[in-house]
Amino acid sequence: MSDTTQASPMKAADGTPLKKSLTRALRRQKLRALALIAPLLIFVLVTFITPIADMLFRSVENQIVHDTLPNTVRALRDWDPASGEAPAEPVFRALSVDLQVATELKQHTRLGTRLNYENPGVSSLFRSSGRGADKIGKDFQDRLAGIDPAWKEGETWAAIFGSDEWLAADAAWAADKSGSQPAFRMREGIDEALPLAAHAFLMFAKDAEGAGKSPATTKPWPVFSDALAQDLESNPNPDPAALPAAEAPLIAAASAAVAGVEPFSYRDAFLAMNKGWGEVGTWETIQAYSSPYTAGYFLNAVDLERSPDGIAVRPPEERIYIKLFARTMWMSLLITVSCLVLGYPVAWLLANLRASTSNLLMILVLLPFWTSLLVRTSAWKVLLQQQGVINDILVWLRLVDDAGRLVMINNQTGTMIAMTHILLPFMILPLYSVMKTVPPTYLRAAKSLGATPWTAFWRVYFPQSIPGIGAGSILVFILAIGYYITPELVGGTEGVFISNRIAFHISSSLNWGLAAALGAILLGVVLLLYYTYDKIVGIDNVKLG
């Protein structure tokens, strides 16, 4: 049949080969379809998928130690916790600068809070030492100012560290504050000549710019003096090419003064502030969390911790998350099973009744589905509480006495009952749509071949309804495992789920990293189930109403 095609390819009406013309048409069709989808896809990707990915990324993110204590982290690299001793002087020198900068930026308490998750007690260490470190800087500042009062002026520092172009632009901007503020540019080579001081000034300049102020006219931080002294001590003759000509004598004078005095012991100063600095554990924590990424939150989320002997299980009284995950899973499973037990007969009845009757009864299933979740939750609260309707009826019927009213709310029972009710329509609807497709003649055929009603149901009907059971169960389980509102309102402390813990860490304890790690695990489970659901049912086959 193909010899004509081989001889000369088929042509479309306009003379192009048919194959090419068809490909082009197909491509146009694909592009049109994508163009229709694109706005929504972009909207969902930007406002939903990326934010969630970004949030989950917080579970491994750990920039805070690295960003707040950059010099300390560098100095700490050579320290070995196995030595059993706190690090030596150089680390404390770097810490002094870092901590003063952090205190000025009000970051030291945040860092303390972060490290406190890993090593309780660190928070107060940072909080108290912030003030002490500031004192060190002030002493150095006073000494420098004693040599030359110019050191007290912001302009002096700006002239040393800012590039000439930036200084000119900044002076012009500061005069009338019109136009946009020039971004700070560091003087070439200064970060090699005076590394610590340059780092401190850079942080200062960024902070001043953020507040819309000129770094040159802002009051300088005391830490500059400390950092400069340290720089000059380790290198008394900084490269003159990197220094501005006007300020070079000033620096030389300071350098001479620093060389003249006995070195200040930072280690002793810090140990005097707080004994915690002498403990190996403190430094171990800082070193362990100094890399920009960490598995610490995930370890925490599964009740593990980093210990001197590697990763270990937390002490029993601190193990809460595995238990909470297990409880969430177990209760979701129980809810799914009770939904199945209650939903199966109803779906069977709906599928086997006359259309008019079943449509009427369907309304009884759909009404709860359409009723606000909070209405249903408040109804259960009204029904289940100790002075509530069910207890009142039981007392009235003398089934329980007034003192022995049943506790059915603020515990697992409350969560179970309310959530089974709330999720039941999600079980009935998929079951119904599958059962509707099973011909009733099969059952009759089985019975006429001699099967008992039970055998006929179990061997013939039930296997055909399994896709419905799968779809409904996975849907209910997925919805149950991530529930927040109902457990929060009727679950008390015993009936809450992992979602409630995540919400607690996001809004109350502010341990976002741990919340993200817990969320990532939960999402992983849900996505796995979602994938299974997609394989079994296909997402396009989800039916509503």
Partner 1 sequence: MTIAPDIPKPSLMGFTVPIMAIAGSLLGYVVGTAKGHVPLGVAGGAVAAAMLAVVLAAAVPQRAAGRIGAAAVFAGLGAILGGVAGAVAGILAGLVLSWISYWLSTGAYRVGVPVYATAGEVLWHNAFRVICGLIFFFLIAPIVIVLPLAFNAENFFTFTPKMLALDPDGYSLKHFQDFLSNPDWTRPLKNSFIIAPLATIISVSLGTLAAIGLSQSHVPGRRAIMAILISPMIVPLIISATGMFFFYSKLGIWMEDSLGLSKDFTGYVKVILAHSVLGIPFVIITVTATLVGFDRSLTRAAANMGAGPIRSFFKVQMPLIMPGVISGALFAFITSFDEVVVVLFVGSASQKTLPWQMFTGLREQISPTILAVAAVLVAFSIILLTTVELLRRRSERLRGMSPT
How many residues sit close enough to partner 1 to count as binding (CB under 8 A)? 92
Contact 434, 468 (CB under 8 A): yes
* C-alpha–C-alpha distance, residues 177 and 170, integer Å: 9
Q: Is 281 exposed, middle or buried (0-12, 13-18, 19+ CB in 10 A)?
A: middle
Q: Is 33 in the site for partner 1 (CB under 8 A)?
A: yes
Q: Which span sits near partner 1 by CB under 8 A: 7-15, 162-170, 285-293, 515-523? A: 515-523
| Closest CB to partner 1 among residues 82, 396 | 396
Task: Report DSSP letters for 192-252, one per residue.
Answer: HHSHHHHHHHHHHHHHHHHTT--TTTSPPPTHHHHHHHHHHHH-SS--GGGS-TTTHHHHH
- Restricted to residues 375-434, the positions that interact with partner 1 (CB under 8 A) are 375-383, 385, 387-389, 392, 396-398, 421, 424-425
Smallest distance, partner 1 to C-beta of residue 432, A: 13
Q: Does 370 bind partner 1 (CB under 8 A)?
A: yes
The correct pick among 111, 232, 340, 502 for binding partner 1 (CB under 8 A) is: 502
Residue 313 Cβ, how far from partner 1 at the closest point, in Å? 27
What is d(CA 235, CA 229) in angstroms, rounded to the nearest whole number? Answer: 10
Q: How far is the CB of 194 from partner 1 (least distance, A)?
A: 35
Rounded CA gap, 386 and 393, in Å?
11
- Binding-site member from 22, 26, 246, 528 for partner 1 (CB under 8 A): 26
For partner 1, give the closer residue by CB, 139 or 534. 534
Amino acid at position 296, single letter: G
Q: Residues 35 to 74: which contact partner 1 by CB under 8 A?
A: 35-37, 39-41, 43-45, 47-56
User: According to the binding rule CB under 8 A, does residue 355 interact with partner 1?
Assistant: yes
Report the SS3 class of residue 304: strand
Phi, psi of 372, rounded to the nearest 5 degrees:
-50, 135
Could you give the 3-state DSSP secondary structure of residue 306?
Answer: strand
Angle in degrees, 0-180, between the axes of helices 355-370 and 321-352, rounded to the nearest 10: 150
Q: Binding to partner 1 by residue 437, rule CB under 8 A?
A: no
Comparing CB distances to partner 1, the nearer of 45 and 272 is: 45
Among 124, 128, 291, 359, binds partner 1 (CB under 8 A): 359
Residue ranges in 452-481 that form contacts with partner 1 under rule CB under 8 A = 453, 478, 481
The residues facing 311 across adjacent strands are 306
Both structure tokens of 447: 């019975």
Specify the 3-state DSSP secondary structure of 233.
Answer: helix
365 binds partner 1 (CB under 8 A): yes
> 282 and 65 in contact (C-beta within 8 Å)?
no
Which of 299, 394 has the CB closer to partner 1? Answer: 394
Task: Compare residues 329 and 526 and give the one whose CB is closer to partner 1.
Answer: 526
The least CB distance from residue 392 to partner 1, in Å, is 5
